[in-house]
A and B are shown apart, each in its own frame.
Chain A
Amino acid sequence: MKKIVMKICTGTMCHVLGGAELPEMAKDLQIRYQGKLSVKGASCMGHCKEKENRPPFIEIDGFVLNDVTKESIVEYLDEQFGYDREE
């Protein structure tokens, strides 16, 4: 099965505006999704240059998520992997 690739922006804008701790969740995420997810840090991906977007940003298989938090990332991935959050 092909892994889902998640890129966490480590650019300055994301770092300053609430994303500083996101790269540290890589290990926990890989454990939670047992090898089905590949997490990478990425230098500024340029999404902050678009006015409507709010940092911090991540990309999941090329799809851009903005204004993310640890919780919103897990929520999104749970849905992608079909994890039942009610359990």
Chain B
Amino acid sequence: MLNIWMNNLVMIGKNNATLTRREIQIRLWQMLGSLSVANLDGMDRISLEMRPKKGSSMRCCIYKDRAVLKYKIMAMLGYNSADETDELDRISDYFMDRLQQKNQSDVFLTVVDEACSACHKKQFVITNMCRGCEARPCVMNCPKNAISINGNKAEIDYDLCVNCGLCQKNCPFHAVSFIPVPCEEACPVGAISKNDEGIEVIDKDKCILCGKCIRECPFGAIVEKSFFPDLYRDWINGNHIIALVAPALDGQFRSSLPQVYGAIKKAGFDAVAEVAWGADKVAEMEAAEFHERIEKGASIMTSSCCASYNLLTKKTIPDLESIKSETATPLKITASMIKDKYPGYKIVFVSPCIAKKKEAFEINEVDYVITIEELAALFAARDIQPEMCEPAEPVLVGSEDGKAFAETGGVAGNIKSKMRDVFDYETLEGFDKASIRKLKGLSNSSSSSQKKTFWEVMACENGCIGGCNTLVTAKQAKRMKQ
């Protein structure tokens, strides 16, 4: 039922919190100079530059804004306010600490306490539109007797209210308003909730890193850890670095894909490889695997390339593990090929989403992840214009079919074209509370169902091109593919 409101909550495109995050990323890269000179002093001044004296502020004043910006940068570096021993510690101190590889935690999402506005607990509110009518459908229909009339106006007893929404549904004056907590509404697995102070806390054991809360928090309070210091460290150490690019990179810039590869090399990477190459292999392997499973009597198999879905089957719905393909992800397959071919190279995945940061953390083949957004910030900081760059050839090339993995239907379509068996396919894109319920049902129906069905499961709407760390909306990415 809450999904009715969910639809009104989805913030896509214009979102100032997203722009703030990108501006921070750009300014950080700018302080890291050409390749070897870090401007640590400048790094400490980012919050001052972004909120100058006499300028406007997002919160009560520029000083609060500056403090919030500082904590957001700290969170990008992988530190939270609990790590703060002295409030006078500078951003550059944390940066240097991170450069020395002292922070190796696998916490990828932080709620910045200072930015979280401690939204009012999710609730229904009787507004001034209430006329205290005779019919009193709110009182009559409340299953918990939580509503009474006080001075010609309805009143909710929040100790009794269970947020069912029947009062809102029945009020003829639309006098009952629903006040959501955006991050909690967006979280498909109930991993984010308030602590005693009203600040949101993420339960690491439940979180599947889908990134929905990052996008939905109107205060930009949920910040992901960035691996830009690792990239910088590899540069100053003179390591060879190879960028493995997700198929979702296509359509993110206003230039051809080979020109984006040229830009990546100009930014300091030694080579580029397409993960679409691994996707081609996955399509073949999954088709063979499904065929084998069907012969053994199974009727359903799901895809296994989405990192967030893989966390979901591990943490939330273990029953799905048995019907999920055991084929490795396109990233893992591509990376192990590259590791053999280019020993000693640092392998960096350019990702449309945050969940892949966790996947890369857990497998040996990939060193770390830079998101498409962080890559673009690097381009912006170094004044690299992809449309002006010489096209570059990737060392591993994927087919058009492999590239289709970035969009809904791409994985399933590929498997279908590679199989002799007749089967249906379904796609489940965009995790929310309803789709998680559907997946739970799927895990129970697997044995009884006779219809052979391949399920393509992707955490993001439209697939990877709708990832939380892309630059443009999925619709626009489709239009900009060249």
Contacts and interface: CB of A to CB of B under 8 A. Distances in A.
Given A23-B254, A24-B476, A16 B384 contact: no
B479 A11 contact: no
A18 interface: yes
Contact of B386 (A12, A17, A20, A21): A12
B380 A16 contact: yes
A17 B23 contact: yes
B254 A15 contact: yes
Nearest to A10: B254
A43 interface: yes
B432 to A, nearest CB: 25
A11 B82 CA distance: 39
A12 B472 contact: no
A16 B14 CA distance: 12
Interface centre among A16, A21, A44 (most CB of B within 10 A): A16
Contacts of A10: 254, 387
The binding surface of chain B is classed by DSSP as helix
B380 A21 contact: no
Interface residues of B, number: 24
A13 B26 contact: yes
A17 B380 CA distance: 9
Contact of B19 (A17, A21, A43): A17
Interface string A15-54: 1111011011000000000000000010110000000000
Contacts of A20: 471-472, 476
Nearest to B13: A21
Contacts of A23: 254
A12 B376 contact: yes
- 7 A-B pairs closest in CB distance: A12-B380, A13-B380, A12-B379, A20-B472, A16-B376, A16-B380, A10-B254
Interface of A: 10-13, 15-18, 20-21, 23-24, 41, 43-44, 69
Given A11-B385, A21-B13, 16 more contacts: A10-B387, A12-B253, A12-B379, A12-B386, A15-B253, A15-B471, A16-B377, A16-B380, A17-B19, A17-B23, A17-B380, A23-B254, A24-B476, A41-B254, A44-B383, A69-B14
Interface of B: 13-14, 19, 22-23, 26, 253-254, 373, 376-377, 379-380, 383-388, 471-473, 476, 479
16 contacts: A10-B254, A12-B253, A12-B376, A12-B383, A13-B380, A16-B26, A16-B373, A16-B380, A17-B23, A20-B476, A21-B13, A21-B476, A24-B479, A44-B383, A44-B385, A69-B14
